[in-house]
Amino acid sequence: MDGKETNRLIAETGIVPRKSRGQNFLTDDRVAQRHVGYAEVSKGDRVLEVGPGLGILTSKLIELSDDVTCIELDEVLQEYIENTYGDRLTLIKGDAMKVDFPPFDKFVSNLPYSISTPIIFKLLEHDFKKAVVMVQKEFAERMVADVGTVDYSRLTVNLFYKADCRMLEPVPASRFKPKPKVDSALVEIVPREAPFKVLDEKTFFKVTEVTFNHRRKKIGTALKNARMIPKDAVVPYMDDRVEKLTPAQIGELADAVYLLSKRDD
Ligand code: SAM
Which atom, in ligand 1's list, is nearest to the CA of 71?
A: 25
pLDDT tens string 22-48: 999 999 999 999 999 999 999 999 999
Task: Judge whether residue 263 has pLDDT over 90.
Answer: no
- Residue minimizing CA distance to atom 18 of ligand 1: 51
Which pLDDT value is given to residue 264? 61
- Residue minimizing CA distance to atom 14 of ligand 1: 53
The per-residue pLDDT of the chain, averaged, comes to: 96
Q: How confident is the model at residue 265 (pLDDT cuts 50, 70, 90)?
A: low
Q: How confident is the model at residue 5 (pLDDT cuts 50, 70, 90)?
A: confident
In the chain the domains, ranked by start, together with CATH numbers, are 3-191 (3.40.50.150), 201-264 (no CATH)
Which atom, in ligand 1's list, is nearest to the CA of 23?
A: 8
Its pTM surpasses 0.85: yes
Report residues whose beta carbon is within 6 angstroms of any ligand 1 atom. 21-26, 50-54, 56-57, 71-74, 77, 95-97, 110, 112, 115
Which atom, in ligand 1's list, is nearest to the CA of 24?
A: 9
Q: How many CA atoms lie within 13 A of 198 on its CB side?
A: 26
> How far apart are the C-alpha atoms of 59 and 42, rounded to whole Å?
15
pLDDT tens string 217-232: 999 999 999 999 999 9
pLDDT tens string 50-90: 999 999 999 999 999 999 999 999 999 999 999 999 999 99
Q: How far is the CA of 114 from the centre of ligand 1 (A)?
A: 10
With both helix axes pointing from N to C terminus, report the angle between 154-162 and 247-264 in degrees, rounded to the nearest 10.
90
